[in-house]
Structure 1
Amino acid sequence: MPAAYGLAHLRDRSPHPDVIEYLERIQATLDPFHGRFLIHGGTLEVVEGEWPGGVVLVEFPGGMADARAWYESPAYQDILRLRTDHIEGDVVLVEGVGPDYDPLQRADKLRAAHPGGYAG
Protein backbone atom coordinates (compact mmCIF):
# COMPACT_ATOMS: atom_id res chain seq x y z
CA MET A 1 0.00 0.00 0.00
CA PRO A 2 1.53 3.33 -1.00
CA ALA A 3 1.88 6.16 1.46
CA ALA A 4 -0.51 9.09 1.31
CA TYR A 5 0.21 12.74 1.76
CA GLY A 6 -1.52 15.80 3.09
CA LEU A 7 -0.47 18.74 0.93
CA ALA A 8 -1.28 22.31 1.90
CA HIS A 9 -0.76 25.41 -0.22
CA LEU A 10 -1.03 28.20 2.34
CA ARG A 11 -1.51 31.82 1.27
CA ASP A 12 -2.11 35.09 3.04
CA ARG A 13 -0.47 33.89 6.21
CA SER A 14 -0.76 36.30 9.10
CA PRO A 15 0.82 35.86 12.51
CA HIS A 16 -1.74 35.21 15.21
CA PRO A 17 -1.66 33.52 18.63
CA ASP A 18 -4.15 30.92 17.37
CA VAL A 19 -1.71 29.84 14.65
CA ILE A 20 1.02 29.38 17.24
CA GLU A 21 -1.34 27.25 19.33
CA TYR A 22 -2.19 25.21 16.21
CA LEU A 23 1.52 24.57 15.61
CA GLU A 24 2.00 23.56 19.24
CA ARG A 25 -0.86 21.04 19.06
CA ILE A 26 -0.74 19.55 15.56
CA GLN A 27 1.94 16.89 16.08
CA ALA A 28 -0.12 15.24 18.81
CA THR A 29 -2.96 14.87 16.26
CA LEU A 30 -0.61 13.27 13.72
CA ASP A 31 1.12 10.80 16.05
CA PRO A 32 -1.73 8.23 16.26
CA PHE A 33 -1.66 8.01 12.44
CA HIS A 34 2.15 7.98 12.12
CA GLY A 35 1.98 11.29 10.26
CA ARG A 36 5.18 13.25 9.89
CA PHE A 37 6.12 16.53 8.31
CA LEU A 38 8.25 16.26 5.18
CA ILE A 39 7.94 19.94 4.27
CA HIS A 40 6.86 22.72 6.59
CA GLY A 41 7.57 26.12 5.13
CA GLY A 42 11.17 26.21 4.04
CA THR A 43 12.73 27.83 1.02
CA LEU A 44 10.53 27.75 -2.05
CA GLU A 45 11.82 28.34 -5.57
CA VAL A 46 9.16 28.74 -8.25
CA VAL A 47 10.52 27.42 -11.57
CA GLU A 48 7.24 27.39 -13.55
CA GLY A 49 4.12 29.48 -13.12
CA GLU A 50 3.21 31.26 -9.90
CA TRP A 51 3.01 29.96 -6.36
CA PRO A 52 2.03 32.61 -3.85
CA GLY A 53 2.45 31.33 -0.31
CA GLY A 54 4.06 28.35 1.33
CA VAL A 55 3.92 24.56 1.24
CA VAL A 56 3.31 21.95 3.90
CA LEU A 57 3.62 18.23 3.15
CA VAL A 58 2.75 15.55 5.69
CA GLU A 59 3.36 11.85 5.02
CA PHE A 60 1.07 9.05 6.19
CA PRO A 61 2.92 5.75 5.63
CA GLY A 62 -0.29 3.77 6.22
CA GLY A 63 -1.99 5.26 3.16
CA MET A 64 -5.17 7.18 2.40
CA ALA A 65 -7.21 5.57 5.16
CA ASP A 66 -4.81 6.97 7.78
CA ALA A 67 -4.66 10.38 6.09
CA ARG A 68 -8.46 10.61 6.02
CA ALA A 69 -8.77 9.31 9.59
CA TRP A 70 -6.31 11.97 10.80
CA TYR A 71 -8.08 14.82 9.02
CA GLU A 72 -11.49 13.69 10.29
CA SER A 73 -10.27 12.90 13.82
CA PRO A 74 -11.83 14.84 16.68
CA ALA A 75 -8.36 15.91 17.82
CA TYR A 76 -7.54 17.54 14.48
CA GLN A 77 -11.00 18.97 13.95
CA ASP A 78 -10.68 20.56 17.40
CA ILE A 79 -7.68 22.66 16.29
CA LEU A 80 -8.49 23.17 12.60
CA ARG A 81 -10.19 26.56 13.05
CA LEU A 82 -7.05 27.86 14.76
CA ARG A 83 -5.44 27.74 11.30
CA THR A 84 -8.35 28.29 8.92
CA ASP A 85 -9.54 31.43 10.71
CA HIS A 86 -6.19 33.10 10.00
CA ILE A 87 -4.56 31.42 6.99
CA GLU A 88 -6.15 31.08 3.56
CA GLY A 89 -5.16 27.97 1.68
CA ASP A 90 -5.98 24.70 0.00
CA VAL A 91 -5.44 21.26 1.49
CA VAL A 92 -5.60 17.95 -0.37
CA LEU A 93 -5.04 14.35 0.59
CA VAL A 94 -3.31 12.44 -2.19
CA GLU A 95 -2.22 8.86 -2.62
CA GLY A 96 1.44 8.35 -3.47
CA VAL A 97 2.93 5.79 -5.79
CA GLY A 98 4.67 2.60 -4.74
CA PRO A 99 8.41 1.99 -4.98
CA ASP A 100 8.00 0.11 -8.27
CA TYR A 101 6.14 2.95 -10.03
CA ASP A 102 7.14 3.37 -13.66
CA PRO A 103 5.78 6.34 -15.64
CA LEU A 104 6.15 4.30 -18.85
CA GLN A 105 3.31 2.06 -17.65
CA ARG A 106 1.10 5.13 -17.23
CA ALA A 107 2.00 6.28 -20.74
CA ASP A 108 1.09 2.83 -22.08
CA LYS A 109 -2.33 2.97 -20.34
CA LEU A 110 -3.02 6.43 -21.75
CA ARG A 111 -1.98 5.30 -25.23
CA ALA A 112 -4.25 2.25 -24.98
CA ALA A 113 -7.17 4.38 -23.81
CA HIS A 114 -6.70 6.77 -26.75
CA PRO A 115 -5.43 4.65 -29.66
CA GLY A 116 -6.08 7.43 -32.19
CA GLY A 117 -4.00 9.87 -30.19
CA TYR A 118 -5.08 13.06 -28.54
CA ALA A 119 -6.95 15.74 -30.47
CA GLY A 120 -4.98 18.96 -30.50
Structure 2
Amino acid sequence: MYRIVQEGLTNICKHAEATTVQLQIQTTLTELSLTLQDNGRGFCIDENQTGFGLQGMRERVLALAGQLEITSELSNGCKITAKFPRILLYSGFTSRRSRNCPAEFENATRNQTRLSSGCRS
Protein backbone atom coordinates (compact mmCIF):
# COMPACT_ATOMS: atom_id res chain seq x y z
CA MET A 1 0.00 0.00 0.00
CA TYR A 2 2.91 2.29 0.71
CA ARG A 3 4.11 1.94 -2.89
CA ILE A 4 0.65 2.72 -4.26
CA VAL A 5 0.55 5.95 -2.26
CA GLN A 6 4.14 6.74 -3.25
CA GLU A 7 3.40 6.30 -6.96
CA GLY A 8 0.20 8.33 -6.71
CA LEU A 9 1.99 11.21 -4.99
CA THR A 10 4.82 11.05 -7.53
CA ASN A 11 2.30 11.31 -10.39
CA ILE A 12 0.60 14.26 -8.71
CA CYS A 13 3.92 16.09 -8.25
CA LYS A 14 5.06 15.42 -11.82
CA HIS A 15 1.85 15.93 -13.77
CA ALA A 16 -1.17 17.24 -11.89
CA GLU A 17 -0.25 20.81 -10.94
CA ALA A 18 -2.52 20.24 -7.94
CA THR A 19 -2.88 22.63 -5.02
CA THR A 20 -4.68 20.14 -2.77
CA VAL A 21 -4.15 16.42 -2.18
CA GLN A 22 -6.25 14.25 0.11
CA LEU A 23 -5.22 10.82 1.39
CA GLN A 24 -7.85 8.80 3.19
CA ILE A 25 -7.58 5.32 4.69
CA GLN A 26 -10.70 3.61 6.02
CA THR A 27 -11.31 0.17 7.44
CA THR A 28 -14.38 -1.94 7.98
CA LEU A 29 -14.65 -5.46 9.33
CA THR A 30 -14.04 -6.86 5.85
CA GLU A 31 -12.14 -4.25 3.88
CA LEU A 32 -9.38 -1.65 3.91
CA SER A 33 -9.87 1.27 1.54
CA LEU A 34 -7.21 3.73 0.40
CA THR A 35 -8.21 6.90 -1.52
CA LEU A 36 -5.85 9.47 -3.01
CA GLN A 37 -7.48 12.50 -4.61
CA ASP A 38 -6.16 15.75 -6.07
CA ASN A 39 -7.61 18.91 -7.60
CA GLY A 40 -5.10 19.04 -10.46
CA ARG A 41 -5.32 19.05 -14.25
CA GLY A 42 -6.79 15.58 -14.49
CA PHE A 43 -6.20 13.45 -17.54
CA CYS A 44 -7.98 11.39 -20.14
CA ILE A 45 -7.72 7.84 -18.83
CA ASP A 46 -8.38 6.37 -22.27
CA GLU A 47 -5.16 8.00 -23.49
CA ASN A 48 -3.00 7.20 -20.45
CA GLN A 49 -2.95 3.42 -20.14
CA THR A 50 0.68 2.64 -20.94
CA GLY A 51 2.57 4.32 -18.10
CA PHE A 52 4.56 2.16 -15.71
CA GLY A 53 3.14 4.04 -12.71
CA LEU A 54 -0.50 3.10 -13.24
CA GLN A 55 0.52 -0.39 -14.36
CA GLY A 56 2.56 -0.84 -11.18
CA MET A 57 -0.40 0.26 -9.07
CA ARG A 58 -2.64 -2.28 -10.79
CA GLU A 59 -0.14 -5.07 -10.22
CA ARG A 60 0.32 -4.23 -6.54
CA VAL A 61 -3.43 -4.08 -5.93
CA LEU A 62 -3.97 -7.41 -7.70
CA ALA A 63 -1.14 -8.96 -5.67
CA LEU A 64 -3.23 -8.25 -2.57
CA ALA A 65 -6.45 -9.52 -4.20
CA GLY A 66 -7.78 -5.96 -4.27
CA GLN A 67 -9.63 -3.73 -6.66
CA LEU A 68 -8.47 -0.44 -8.15
CA GLU A 69 -10.68 2.38 -9.37
CA ILE A 70 -9.29 5.44 -11.13
CA THR A 71 -11.50 8.37 -12.02
CA SER A 72 -10.28 11.52 -13.70
CA GLU A 73 -11.71 14.38 -15.66
CA LEU A 74 -9.81 17.10 -17.49
CA SER A 75 -9.48 20.18 -15.25
CA ASN A 76 -11.13 18.33 -12.33
CA GLY A 77 -8.33 16.27 -10.87
CA CYS A 78 -7.96 12.57 -10.27
CA LYS A 79 -9.19 10.09 -7.68
CA ILE A 80 -7.57 6.71 -7.08
CA THR A 81 -9.26 4.22 -4.78
CA ALA A 82 -7.76 0.86 -3.86
CA LYS A 83 -9.75 -1.64 -1.80
CA PHE A 84 -8.32 -4.72 -0.13
CA PRO A 85 -9.97 -7.61 1.73
CA ARG A 86 -8.83 -7.45 5.36
CA ILE A 87 -8.55 -11.22 5.74
CA LEU A 88 -5.48 -11.15 3.52
CA LEU A 89 -3.87 -8.33 5.46
CA TYR A 90 -4.13 -10.33 8.68
CA SER A 91 -3.02 -13.66 7.23
CA GLY A 92 0.36 -12.36 6.10
CA PHE A 93 -0.65 -12.70 2.43
CA THR A 94 1.85 -10.80 0.30
CA SER A 95 1.34 -12.05 -3.24
CA ARG A 96 -1.02 -14.04 -5.46
CA ARG A 97 1.43 -16.91 -5.32
CA SER A 98 1.60 -17.02 -1.54
CA ARG A 99 0.86 -20.32 0.16
CA ASN A 100 -1.29 -18.37 2.62
CA CYS A 101 -3.68 -17.41 -0.16
CA PRO A 102 -7.24 -18.55 0.56
CA ALA A 103 -8.83 -20.46 -2.32
CA GLU A 104 -11.38 -17.73 -3.06
CA PHE A 105 -8.55 -15.28 -3.81
CA GLU A 106 -6.45 -17.52 -6.05
CA ASN A 107 -7.92 -15.89 -9.14
CA ALA A 108 -6.97 -12.36 -8.08
CA THR A 109 -5.90 -11.49 -11.62
CA ARG A 110 -9.54 -11.66 -12.69
CA ASN A 111 -10.34 -8.54 -10.66
CA GLN A 112 -11.02 -5.64 -12.98
CA THR A 113 -9.57 -2.18 -12.70
CA ARG A 114 -12.46 0.26 -12.94
CA LEU A 115 -11.70 3.36 -14.95
CA SER A 116 -13.87 6.39 -15.36
CA SER A 117 -13.01 9.36 -17.49
CA GLY A 118 -14.65 12.70 -18.12
CA CYS A 119 -13.10 12.89 -21.59
CA ARG A 120 -15.34 13.58 -24.51
CA SER A 121 -14.99 11.77 -27.85
TM-score (norm 2): 0.37
Which has the bigger relative contact order, CA under 8 A and spacing at least 6? Answer: 1
TM-score (norm 1): 0.37
Task: Tell which structure's C-alpha radius of gyration is larger.
Answer: 1
